[in-house]
């Protein structure tokens, strides 16, 4: 009767020999031994009341897995996903974790993510969090969020009980206010540089002005002289004469400009969107 887990829920079955029970016709001198054993068991339970040992036969399966015996039946309802676990053994020591997988086929196999440490292949005791619906602290399977809820997390992986959501999303999405759950846009929010463009236009009704004009006299050995004009900055038109003036007129122009600034890379904080399982 050293542990409450060994007691029977049927009163008449707690009739093992003293000090582990109270058999019929037990010697008066043995009553106090059984009573003391009962008190010790209650105190032991009091000291760790947040954990419950069901008395199942626990077998090592792997560093992160244990199983309960076939004779214990389907125990997935006890060792269910999200429930906290305390395991201990001579070499394992005391370790704590959260159940991530629980399946039954003949026996029940339980997979645990340990906060630290691992199971050793030895005699083990496993206790579960006393509350049936107890979950790990923080965002997880008992955090109050409905299944399908999507939340932005500032971390690289989804918390326990959540899955990273990527449907319809691309890298470098911006968060905007609007109809929730929709996406849009066509360019990345960082490292964006515009391409080249060609402006065109017309200088209309240009004020009267003069173009520089120089005259070269060339003897072509035929008695004919020619004048060679040297015009100013506009080369898409000509003027004749030795002194060029005139009324207002237009110049058309085109120019190709390539705009290549340093890529725009603002400071950012990388996040994920995760969906509640």
Region 52-129: CATH code? 2.40.30
Instruction: State the pLDDT at residue 89.
Output: 95
What is the spatial distance between Cα 135 and Cα 83, in angstroms, rounded to a whole number? Answer: 5
pTM, whole model, 2 decimals? Answer: 0.42
Hey, which bits of the chain come out as E strands?
51-52, 58-62, 65-68, 84-89, 93-105, 107-114, 125-129, 150-153, 162-164, 196-197, 200-206, 218-219, 225-226, 249-254, 257-258, 272-276
Helix (H) or strand (E) holding 41: helix 28-47
The pair of structure tokens assigned to 24 is 């019929």
Question: Cα 104–109–113 angle (5° rounding)?
Answer: 135
List per-residue pLDDT tens for the chain, 277 residues long: 567 778 888 999 989 999 988 999 999 999 999 999 999 888 877 777 788 888 899 999 999 999 999 999 999 999 999 899 999 999 999 999 999 999 999 999 999 999 999 999 999 999 998 765 444 444 444 456 777 888 888 888 888 888 998 887 777 777 777 777 777 777 666 665 555 555 555 554 455 555 544 444 444 454 444 444 433 333 334 444 333 444 555 555 555 555 555 566 677 788 888 988 8
User: What are the sequence ranges of the domains in the chain?
Assistant: 4-47, 52-129
pLDDT at 91: 96
CA-to-CA distance for 156 and 158, rounded, in angstroms? 7
Edge-to-edge strands, sheet with 162-164? 150-153, 272-276, 162-164
Question: How high is the pLDDT of residue 82?
Answer: 87
């Amino acid at each position: 009767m050293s542990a409450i887990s060994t007691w029977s829920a049927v009163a008449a079955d707690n009739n093992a020999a003293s000090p582990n029970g109270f058999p019929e016709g037990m010697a008066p001198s043995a009553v106090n031994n059984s009573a003391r054993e009962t008190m010790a068991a209650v105190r032991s339970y009091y000291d760790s009341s947040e954990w419950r040992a069901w008395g199942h036969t626990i077998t090592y399966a792997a560093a992160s897995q244990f199983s309960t015996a076939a004779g214990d039946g389907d125990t997935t309802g006890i060792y269910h996903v999200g429930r906290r676990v305390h395991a201990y053994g001579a070499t394992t020591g005391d370790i704590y974790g959260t159940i991530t997988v629980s399946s039954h086929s003949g026996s029940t196999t339980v997979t645990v993510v340990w906060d630290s440490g691992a199971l050793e292949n030895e005699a083990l005791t496993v206790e579960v969090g006393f509350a049936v619906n107890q979950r790990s602290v923080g965002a997880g399977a008992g955090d109050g969020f409905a299944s399908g809820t999507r939340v932005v997390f500032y971390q690289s992986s989804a918390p326990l009980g959540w899955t990273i959501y990527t449907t319809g999303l691309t890298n470098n999405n911006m968060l905007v206010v609007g109809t929730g759950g929709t996406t849009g846009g066509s360019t990345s929010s960082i490292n964006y540089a515009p391409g080249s463009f060609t402006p065109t236009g017309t200088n209309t009704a240009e004020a009267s002005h003069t173009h520089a004009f120089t005259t070269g006299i060339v003897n072509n050995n035929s008695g004919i002289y020619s004048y060679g004009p040297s015009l100013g900055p506009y080369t898409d038109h000509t003027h004749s004469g030795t002194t060029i003036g005139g009324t207002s007129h237009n110049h058309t122009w085109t120019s190709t400009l390539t705009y290549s600034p340093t890529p725009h890379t603002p400071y950012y904080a990388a996040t994920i969107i995760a969906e509640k399982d």
